[in-house]
Structure 1
Amino acid sequence: MKVLLLKDPKEDDCGQDPYVRELGLYGLEATLIPVLSFEFLSLPSLSEKLSHPEGYGGLIFTSPRAVEAVERCLQKDTKAEVWKKSLKEKWNAKSVYVVGNATASLVNRIGLHTEGETCGNAEKLAEYICSRIPLESVTVYQTIPHPGIQGNLTSYYTQQDRLPNVLLA
């Protein structure tokens, strides 16, 4: 029997989409059709902000796409060399938060140490961040549109009357 999967193909350790592999084990023939397209719109702005960790109290990665955006920024020009020599170390001296385990593993791959991966959603991550940081003033810089996460963090921190100076990717 044939199965139509409406999703982007993802490769696992075996170089095959896990859904295609699993369905194949049951004798099903899966065909993948991507249904969404995605385009990064703010890479120059993100790249500029990544070059100045001194202006931020930390990073918040909201998704694997956010990590991909940072990776693309690091591949441009001489950014990879500067990242390895100094920027990575400067960002690691700050808090780097992630929403889930999948995002954490990708952030670790670019050399950053993470916190909050067990939170699982924006609301719990916001609570976690508030419990860990003595927060003074509110400044959230969002370079990649992600209204659900930014809205949740902003409203949570506003209710708490405190926000860190973070780069929300």
Structure 2
Amino acid sequence: MHVLLLKEPREGGSGPDPYIKELASRGHKATLIPVLSFTFVSLNTLSDKLFQPEQHGGLIFTSPRAVEAVKMCLEDDERTEQWNMDIKDKWNAKSIYVVGKATAALVENLGLVPLGEDTGTADVLSRLILEREDANILPLLFPCGSIKREVLPSALRENGVPLDTLMVYQTAQHPDLEKNLEKHFTEQVQEAKSRTFPSKHYPIYPRCLFYLYLTRQVR
């Protein structure tokens, strides 16, 4: 069976996508077509906040894109040197909250020590934060996307935990989605037509499973 995966590619681009690998192990061919694109914004503001850790009580990351935004703020050699010299240690003296192992791994690549990688969702992470923090802390810096869910901000707000939310990327439909889908189905139809079927009534379209995997918008 040919499986069409509509999802984001594997984070970091290293190695095969785990879904493609798993499907291949079960004898299925898979094609991955990205459905979303991301535009980074407010990086100057984010950079200013990152290099003033004394103004915040900790960091919250609920998506790999938010970590990528931080990484982009460190591309300048001078900034990188300053980060490695003392800024990251000042952040590590605070709590660095994350959702998921993929995000945690990217946070570790920045030299930070994540908490909450096993939480899995923003709802569970918010409970962990509420167990550890109270209304007396400095605001937690929360870089996020344009269509983040309000579960975590609402939970913290209702319990008086201060939060500094900053949108650092915008999510939109991938610009090549329609073109890539058309190309994929054209190829599938041509492949099906080239086959010899036992019956003239056999459909020319190959069996194709659509798997829509849009990452939960907890950002």
Q: What TM-score bracket applies, with the shorter chain setting the length? A: 0.7 to 0.9
Deviation, structure 1 residue 39: 0.9
Alpha-carbon spacing, 1:16–1:167, altered in 2? closer, same or farther (3 Å)? same
More helix as a share of residues: 1
Quick one: distance in 1 between partners of 2:116 and 2:95? 10
Quick one: distance in 2 between partners of 1:152 and 1:31? 33
Q: 2:3 matched to which residue of 1?
A: 3
Deviation, structure 1 residue 77: 4.6
More strand as a share of residues: 2
- CA deviations 1:108-154 (Å, max 9, x no partner) are 121111212222222222221121123227846554335544x3233
Quick one: distance in 2 between partners of 1:159 and 1:11? 33
The alignment-based identity, stated in percent, is 49
Deviation, structure 1 residue 94: 0.9
Q: 1:56 matched to which residue of 2?
A: 56
Deviation, structure 1 residue 71: 1.0
Q: 1:159 matched to which residue of 2?
A: 158
Alpha-carbon spacing, 1:37–1:13, altered in 2? closer, same or farther (3 Å)? closer
Q: 1:106 matched to which residue of 2?
A: 106
Q: Give the number of the structure whose alpha-carbon radius of gyration is greater.
A: 2
1:5 alignment partner AA: L
| Deviates most, 76-85 or 130-139 | 130-139
Q: 2:206 matched to which residue of 1?
A: none
Quick one: distance in 2 between partners of 1:106 and 1:97? 12
Report how many aligned residue pairs link the two structures: 167
Deviation, structure 1 residue 96: 0.7
Quick one: distance in 2 between partners of 1:33 and 1:17? 12
Is the Cα contact below 8 Å between 1:45 and 1:143 reproduced in 2?
A: no
Is the Cα contact below 8 Å between 1:88 and 1:112 reproduced in 2?
A: yes
TM-score (norm 1): 0.81
Greater RCO structure (CA 8 Å; 6+ sep):
2
| Deviates most, 105-114 or 48-57 | 105-114
Q: Tell me how large the CA RMSD over aligned residues is.
A: 2.8
Quick one: distance in 1 between partners of 2:47 and 2:34? 28
Structure 2 residue runs of 5 or longer lacking an equivalent are: 169-219
Structure 1 residue runs of 5 or longer lacking an equivalent are: none
1:92 alignment partner AA: N
2:155 alignment partner AA: Y
Quick one: distance in 2 between partners of 1:134 and 1:15? 41
Alpha-carbon spacing, 1:153–1:33, altered in 2? closer, same or farther (3 Å)? closer
Deviation, structure 1 residue 9: 2.7
Q: Does residue 136 of the first structure (1) align with residue 136 of the second (2)?
A: yes
Alignment of 1:53-132 (within 5 A): 53-132=53-132
| Deviates most, 14-23 or 65-74 | 14-23
Deviation, structure 1 residue 163: 1.2
Is the Cα contact below 8 Å between 2:9 and 2:34 reproduced in 1?
A: yes
